[in-house]
Amino acid sequence: MPQLDFQDFAPQLIWLAITFTALYLIMARVALPRIATVIEQRRDRIASDLDKAEQLKKQTEDAIAAYEQAIAEARAKAHTIAQEARDKLAAEIDEERAEVEKQIADQTAEAETRIQAAKAAALAHVSDVAADTATEIVKRLIGGRVTKAEVGNAVGKALSS
């Protein structure tokens, strides 16, 4: 193996040192600063993205709070409107109920008046009907004739007792 030959060992060490130094200088002056710049840019971008994400999170939380407040206000307003509508309907129903009850009371009073008139008329004719009926019954049972005055007196006594 030529690498282990002691005659060529010193020049190999010198070339190793020259190559190592050249590679070290190239890496230290060219490659590593570029890598450091890229890493720094990434770090800055990540920090910027985190800050932006934090701002967006805060905006989202504010929007959610505003949304919840708007919903609460809308619910309260809807409840108020519904209560007003219920109260208005209850008042209208009460008015209509009072009007209908008044109409029913008027119709009931009118019907009672008609019933009383019909009852009075019926009672006024009861004596005539009773007299006619009694006359017919007497004619059929006895076969005799009875005067209207006699029948009227008998019916009057029967109705008064």
- Domain coordinates of the chain in residue numbers? 7-160
Least confident of 65-69, 103-107, 123-127: 123-127
For 70-90, what is each residue's pLDDT tens digit? 999 999 999 999 999 999 999
Which residues, including other chains, have CB under 8 Å from residue 144's CB and lie 6 or more apart?
Answer: 138
Closest to 151 (Cα-Cα) out of 85, 133, 161, 160: 133
The whole-model pTM stands at 0.44
pLDDT over 60 at 150, yes or no? yes
Confidence of residue 95 (pLDDT cuts 50, 70, 90): very high
**Confidence at residue 156, expressed as pLDDT on a 0 to 100 scale:** 75
**Confidence at residue 2, expressed as pLDDT on a 0 to 100 scale:** 64
Percentage of the chain beyond pLDDT 90 is: 64
Check residues 124 and 82 and name the one with the higher pLDDT: 82
Check residues 120 and 47 and name the one with the higher pLDDT: 47
Confidence of residue 3 (pLDDT cuts 50, 70, 90): low
Q: What is the mean pLDDT of the chain?
A: 89
Closest to 133 (Cα-Cα) out of 14, 141, 52, 87: 141
Confidence of residue 121 (pLDDT cuts 50, 70, 90): confident
| Total length of the chain | 161
Confidence of residue 104 (pLDDT cuts 50, 70, 90): very high
